[in-house]
Amino acid sequence: MNNIDKVKKAAINYYIYCNYRLCHFMNFMKSYAGVLLLAIIFIPGVSPVKGQSNANPVPQLGHNTIQEVIAAMTLEEKATLVVGAGRAPAPRNLPGVTIPGQTEIKVPGAAGNTAAIPRLGIPSMVLSDGPAGLRISPIRNGDSTIMYYATGFPVGTLLASTWDPALVEQVGKAFGNEVKEYGVDILLAPGINIHRNPLNGRNFEYYSEDPLIAGKMAAAIINGVQSNGVGTAVKHFAANNQETSRNSINTIVSERALRELYLRNFRIAINESNPWTVMSSYNKINGTYTAERKDLITTVLRDEWNYKGFVMTDWGGGRDWTAEMNAGNDLIMPGSPRQVQAIISAVKHDSISVKQLDMNVEHILNVVLKSPSFLKYRYSNKPDLKAHAEVAHKAATEGMVLLKNEANTLPFSKNIKVIAAFGNASYNTIAGGTGSGDVNKAYIISVYKGLANAGYAPDAGLETIYTQYFQQAKAQALAAAPVNGRRQQGPPPEMMATDDQITQKSKDCDIALITIGRNAGEGADRKLETNYNLTADEKQQIRKIAESFHSKGKKVVAVLNIGGVIDMNEWKDNIDAILLAWQPGQEAGYAIADILSGKVNPSGKLATTFPVQYTDVPSAKNFPGTPADKPAQVIYQEGIYIGYRYYDSFNIKPMYEFGYGLSYTDFSITDIKLSSDKFKGMVTATVNVKNIGHVAGKQVVQLYISAPAKTIDKPAQELKGFSKTRLLQPGESQPVTFSIREADLVSYHTDKSEWIADEGQYMVKIGASSRDIKQTATFKVGSKIVTETDHKVLQPLIAIDEYKPGTNK
Ligand code: BGC
């Protein structure tokens, strides 16, 4: 190369270098850092980090106090923060508002994000569903070589049936670890609404008809999840007990029913766990959307209960964003630019005070400060799914409820080897419900697989028949013309085995197992005829299988793979043993096989009643509301009498009562002792629980109180304590002690807004279920006790003709 060439090459290289630098410079300038640097260079007094020598440093979250940060925020920035940043937290560009944010979606599949305000060191937080496992996308950018699966834990109804908060806390720990390791800040769970009616499509997410169980379970899972340094959103606050007209239904409910049932679950959860956030609900309470009710969100939640976290709307909840801010509903989710503008304009027109908006901002920033995103946690995207699967498996076995066991059909005797597994759900086992409560898990262990894994020989011929049926059904669905532009998806209808197949299997197999599957979820309630009741085909199939197997001296077992209560009345007599497996998460088949084989002795108990028939349900006449074709309002006419509070007070015999569940062993509960027969602030009650059977097992001991109904009506009894024993070997005993406090005796007196325990005699009932009371004792309350006076709020606008024992129903 001659000198001229050398000069030319150097010139070209310099040109490329300059271009490269310019390009970088331009990119840099486009980025937020560039803008910031320019600001530092050209705008006097702007400096990004505290401690720089500049005269007017911009306060930074974490370095400065929250008050200093708020004082430095523009109105636009405040409005941006109180409105979610949508699913993809892109920069906000509105007329007059430009707030740079992060442009990439941090966690695909997350339900939402809060806005970032980089100028003040405020990062975006990621919010993700849901109650039975973290709901995120399993695949990113179409690359299936790396999968982002989350563990499918058992659903809420099953967790509640464990009656074991310590175990549920372990589930929460594992669950929360996935939240953290997948880069999520706040888990949108647990859902703790009360099982008012069995048709509610989301009951599977929720825990119980009883607020004590719901509150304790919620506290356990929240404590477990939050022990990882991530947040939860206890939801849906409050009285959100149906999916029909879910975004607009007006719930008309008495103050007493609210206080004693629909708020009490939240109160217990908040007292005992302190969730970082609360999600208000979609429904109205007595005429006003919950998110817009200051009396609910500020007076009750913050003033009476001393709640310190922030409150967010459900996704698109409520209508009036100004009212939401003023109510103390701090964050509007998922958020839209229109809402930011609306908040700005409301402040400019004095509909929201700056003080109020600052308070909303403060509540959010308090939580941002402890979030993994703020703390720059380097998440791995690799939680220990294997270890968590074991937690899911254990919890699943602990929450299954043995409902029926004629002549010791279960556990399977040594002679049982070849099993005829009928029912779609034996093969397509249902891990959990649908909607935002669904989880993208790596697999579901079917009942068939669980049995095979446990050393049984589930009939392979039947498996082939079912598999072919599923394939055909799928092909048919794909071939069918789309309805309203959509392909019809969803599980195929129940396959009906032919008479010949049933007869053949009753010859070839040692026992029949029928898995009855039901699914439901967000957006729709269950249909009475086809989801709560078994279909005519299903009932006929059960009858035929039972006839054929029984005629050969062989037994029939049913496994209920369901998320909520179903009808049992019309078919259960055909069956020898019934295991309520609920929707047990991804390890379903393993857990079911553990119980059927006797490897694990069932110890779950019902946290929700199975009535004899749907018409017995106290809310049946008032669900899902009126007018029937498109309900606008629902009246909680049953008042405080839901679940066992109703069946026990109105002498209605349930099919399986609250607290019920069988074991492979027997227990005695004896020797009740009260610390005193006079109540002075507290009484303790102790009993002795003994395993008097032949295999090891756990017993759930339940304490109910019957209070005198002097000044107002009272339920016949109410659950006030429960305790699950350790695994007791045959002959082994364990003392169990309960503390009964003033708060356990009081009822809400609407006229004075007071919680009062009348003087008189109280009966303590300790037993194995609400209707299997083994020990009783009484104590006296010498004079009326008032534990607290609440605000007169949330009143119904119309009179409710509530049910009262001894009068109407
Ligand atoms: C549900 C919430 C859920 C939210 C975000 C809403 O439709 O009601 O439970 O957390 O969506 O997915």
Give the nearest ligand 1 atom to 334 CA.
Answer: 5
pLDDT tens-digit series, residues 382-436: 999 999 999 999 999 999 999 999 999 999 999 999 999 999 999 999 999 999 9
Q: What is the pLDDT of residue 91?
A: 60
Beta bridge partners of 779: 762
Please give the pLDDT value at position 439. 94
Q: What is the pLDDT of residues 687-706, one digit of tens each?
A: 999 999 999 999 999 999 99
Between the CA of 235 and the centroid of ligand 1 the distance, in Å, is 9
How many residues does the structure list for the chain? 809
Copy the structure tokens of residue 4. Answer: 């001229």
Task: Reply yes or no on whether the pLDDT at 3 is more than 70.
Answer: no
- Residue 364 sits at the vertex; the CA angle it makes with 359 and 369, to the nearest 5 degrees, is 125
User: Nearest to residue 562, comparing CAs of 538, 532, 542?
Assistant: 532
For position 35, what pLDDT does the model report?
A: 39
Q: How far is the CA of 315 from the centre of ligand 1 (A)?
A: 6
Nearest CA residue ID for atom 11, ligand 1: 315
Burial state string for 296-310 with b = 16 or more CB within 10 A and e = fewer than 16: bbbbbbbebeebebb
Each residue's pLDDT tens digit, 478-499: 888 777 777 667 789 999 999 9
Give the pLDDT confidence score for residue 88 in this predicted structure: 62
Residues near ligand 1 with C-beta < 6 Å? 111, 129, 188, 235, 314-315, 436, 522
pLDDT of residue 174: 98
Note the pLDDT of residue 269. Answer: 98
Cα–Cα–Cα angle for 771, 776, 778, nearest 5°?
130
Contacts of 753 (CB under 8 A, 6+ apart): 255, 789, 790, 791, 792
Q: Which atom of ligand 1 is closest in space to residue 233's alpha carbon?
A: 10
pLDDT score recorded for residue 90: 57
Q: What is the pLDDT of residue 99?
A: 64
Q: How many CA atoms lie within 13 A of 809 on its CB side?
A: 17
Structure confidence at residue 482 (pLDDT): 78
Per-residue pLDDT band at 760 (split at 50, 70, 90): very high
The answer, yes or no, to whether residue 33 has pLDDT greater than 80, is: no
- In the prediction, which pLDDT does 48 show? 40
Report the b/e string of 27-46 with b at 16+ CB within 10 A: eeeeeeeebbeebbeeeeeb
| Pair 606, 658: CB distance under 8 Å | yes
Strands 97-99 and 92-94: antiparallel
Using the mean position of ligand 1's atoms as its centre, give its distance from the Cα of residue 436 in Å: 6
The predicted pLDDT at position 809 comes to: 56
**Token digits for 363?**
């509540």
Does pLDDT of 573 surpass 60? Answer: yes
Ligand 1 centroid to 298 CA: how many Å?
Answer: 22
Per-residue pLDDT band for 40 (boundaries 50, 70, 90) equals very low
**For the chain, what percent of residues have pLDDT higher than 90?**
87
**Each residue's pLDDT tens digit, 274-322:** 999 999 999 999 999 999 999 999 999 999 999 999 999 999 999 999 9
Q: How is residue 415 written in tokens?
A: 């002679």
Choice among 129, 164, 295, 314 that is catalytic? 314
Q: Is 83 helix (H, G, I), strand (E, B) or coil?
A: strand
What pLDDT shows up at residue 18? 38
Contact residues for 209 (Cβ-Cβ < 8 A; gap 6+): 194, 195, 196, 607, 608, 609, 642, 643, 644, 658
Residue 750 · residue 714 · CB < 8 Å: no
Q: Is 314 labeled as catalytic in the residue annotation? A: yes
Query: CA–CA separation, 287 vs 284, rounded Å?
Result: 6
Q: How would DSSP label each residue in 243-263?
A: -TTTTT-EEE--HHHIIIIIT
- pLDDT value at residue 791: 98
Report which of 350, 346, 303 is spatially closest to residue 328, judged by C-alpha positions: 303
Query: Which residue has the CA at smallest separation from atom 8 of ligand 1?
Result: 314
DSSP per-residue string spanning 552-621: TT-EEEEEEE-SS----TTTGGG-SEEEE-----TTHHHHHHHHHHTSS------SS-B-SSGGGSTTGG
Residue 529, φ and ψ in degrees, nearest 5: -75, -35
How confident is the model at residue 43, as a pLDDT?
Answer: 39
> What average pLDDT does this structure show over 116-142?
95
Mean pLDDT score, 547-574: 97
Percent of the chain residues past pLDDT 70, beyond the cut: 90
Question: What is the chain's Cα-based Rg?
Answer: 29
Kindly report the CA angle at 280 between 278 and 283, in degrees rounded to 5? 160
| Predicted local distance difference test score (pLDDT) of residue 480 | 84
Q: Which atom of ligand 1 is nearest to the CA of 523?
A: 7
Mean pLDDT estimate for the chain: 92
More confident residue, 152 or 484: 152
Nearest CA to ligand 1 atom 7: 315
pLDDT at 691: 98
pLDDT at 102 over 80: no
Residue 549 pLDDT > 90: yes
- Output the pLDDT for position 763: 98
Locate the ligand 1 atom nearest the alpha carbon of residue 127 and give its number. Answer: 5
* pLDDT reported for residue 86: 80
pLDDT 10s digits, 168-181: 999 999 999 999 99
Rounded to the nearest angstrom, the distance between the alpha carbon of 626 and the centre of ligand 1 is 24
pLDDT class of 340 with cuts at 50, 70, 90: very high
